[in-house]
Amino acid sequence: MMMWPLYNSYSQKEETKKEKPLSNLNLEPQEMQTKSCSNNYISTSLKTFPKTQDLDLQAKLPLSVTIQPFAERKKEMKNNQDIPVINYGKENFVRCECGGYLNPFVQPNFMSFHYTCPLCGTTSNFPEWWINSNSQSGYQGNNMELNKRVEFSDSVIEFQANSKYQNRQTSDPIYFFLIEISEYTINNNLVALMCKSIKKWIKSKLIDKEASNSQSIKVGIICFHSVVDAILIKKKSKRPEIITLGDLTDYFVPCPTKSCIVKIKTHYKSIYSALQLIPEIYKKKINHQPIKQSKDQQSTSESCLSFALQISFGFLNSVGGKLICLIANRPNLSKGMLRNRENQELVGSKEESTLLNPEKDSIHGQFWKQIAKKFSKYYISVSLFLFPFQYLDIATFAQLTHYTAGELFVYDNLSLQTAHKLRSFQRQLTQLLNREDCWEAIIRTRISYGFSIKQYFTDCLISNDDLLYVPNISPDYSLNIQLQIHSKEIISNYLFIQTVVV
């Protein structure tokens, strides 16, 4: 939760402090700072915001807010204390009718047991169970005295939600790897490097027994080229079994999927040997295949990435997960095949921007947006590691990362600074795997009365009712909101913003 003062005009900015406030709330600057959350979480384009539409039009300044929900807390701000955790037990959260949660800026009245919400100005009663609650009845806050409860003292709070707030049972974190097998990825050691990095990461996770999720992590591996191969990892098996899933017109997902997605804790030996053997097995295969030449005389391979993504969806739609893809060739098989859209004649013309936008005109182009939205709805995030050596149409399939809050890494022209780029690839892949993520999140931001959200700038799917579906939130994830004033004049002296991650 954060707040900022509003100003009436340029010249009266200093005088505003002396004026009688239009609402009951009147805070000293020091109080404003201590009650607001750190700038690490929420920062703004302006220190004070205009109070009227006219002033906003005159100022012509962007009213925007950047929110980083899992930014690390500034140690010096709160004496290095952990974020307080509250558990209301089986009870619902205490919320105003606008949906706002209790926060340090509500104006409580403990005589009549009601409070006024700073977001909408509505007065609500505290629920009886909340007033009478104590640690025995399930409430776990820092202090039982009403006026000293953490809801009123701390602007960043973790509420432990009961099962009523869960869409489905929490599943184990799943990392699903999609590896392109082609002459380029094999001969440039990209497959070997990826397997080596995964192995190293699993080793570190098994050692790190303190990390909350390290022991429950599951992994799955799929390799794709002209067809899609699932790598079956069975306990005590020294060699992975490889099965081809479908024929590009129809696919199947092995049932049960237990050998395709396995726990690292119980299957680490078999996973290690699979990761060791995958580059060798496919190197032999690739070297026996006829090579096709592209226009620029570079060797090109068949790639059914879109088909592999559909199969991955079949594996993950009931559990969600993180999909990590290694890609070098443009998808050229099955639905979603992409054409070379390079056109030198458009360079410098008005239509040049179309080359940088995703392809929308064909069914194949539309496939990428559709599947990305489908992934997001089922809490599957997609991160891409791209190694383009010819035209790849990054704009079109980057929609996968855009709608699923994934990440996009591009290492072009590998022949230059090869060692440096390969080191970057390993480092960034390891970083992505090691990060403490929040899985299956929905974000909602509420703004105080008079302001509204004009536009979001972020990577995720945004529903019509302003809910952000984020399959994975890392500490680096942020969103930017552009605000607008929709009331002629705002009654409050302050702008309040509350962001909730569920």
Give the tokens for residue 265: 């804790």
Q: Does 25 bind Zn ion (CB under 5 A)?
A: no
Q: Does 501 bind Zn ion (CB under 5 A)?
A: no
- Indicate the residue among 225 and 446 with the shorter CB distance to Zn ion: 446
Query: Which residues on adjacent β-strands are paired with residue 146?
Result: none
Distance CA 56, CA 491 (A): 15
Give the tokens for residue 303: 């790639």
Is-contact 208 202, C-beta < 8 A?
A: no
Terminal CA-to-CA distance of the chain, rounded, Å? 15
Q: Minimum Å distance from CB 91 to Zn ion?
A: 19
Q: Hunting for tokens 């035209």 — which residue is that?
A: 391
H-helix or E-strand containing 499? strand 494-501
Binding segment for Zn ion among 119-127, 261-269, 306-314, 367-375 (CB under 5 A)? 119-127
Give yes or no for a cis peptide into 256 (omega within 30° of 0). Answer: yes
Give the tokens for residue 94: 């205490």
Query: Which one of residues 117, 382, 447, 470 is an interface residue with Zn ion (CB under 5 A)?
Result: 117
Q: Where are the alpha helices (DSSP H) in 288-417?
A: 305-316, 352-356, 363-377, 394-397, 399-404
Q: Minimum Å distance from CB 97 to Zn ion?
A: 6
- Indicate the residue among 96 and 392 with the shorter CB distance to Zn ion: 96
Q: Does 98 bind Zn ion (CB under 5 A)?
A: yes
Binding segment for Zn ion among 112-120, 197-205, 354-362, 491-499 (CB under 5 A)? 112-120
Q: Does 453 bind Zn ion (CB under 5 A)?
A: no
Q: Minimum Å distance from CB 496 to Zn ion?
A: 10
Query: Which one of residues 2, 94, 96, 400 is an interface residue with Zn ion (CB under 5 A)?
Result: 96
Q: Does 100 bind Zn ion (CB under 5 A)?
A: yes
Query: Which one of residues 1, 119, 228, 372 is an interface residue with Zn ion (CB under 5 A)?
Result: 119
Could you give the 3-state DSSP secondary structure of residue 470? strand
Binding segment for Zn ion among 121-129, 141-149, 352-360, 387-395 (CB under 5 A)? 121-129
Binding segment for Zn ion among 91-99, 268-276, 297-305, 415-423 (CB under 5 A)? 91-99
Is-contact 323 381, C-beta < 8 A?
A: yes
Interaction mask 258-287, Zn ion, x per CB under 5 A: ------------------------------
Total number of residues shown for the chain = 502
In single-letter form, the type of residue at position 249 comes to T
In single-letter form, the type of residue at position 213 comes to N
Q: Which residues bind Zn ion (CB under 5 A)?
A: 96, 98, 100, 117, 119-120, 122
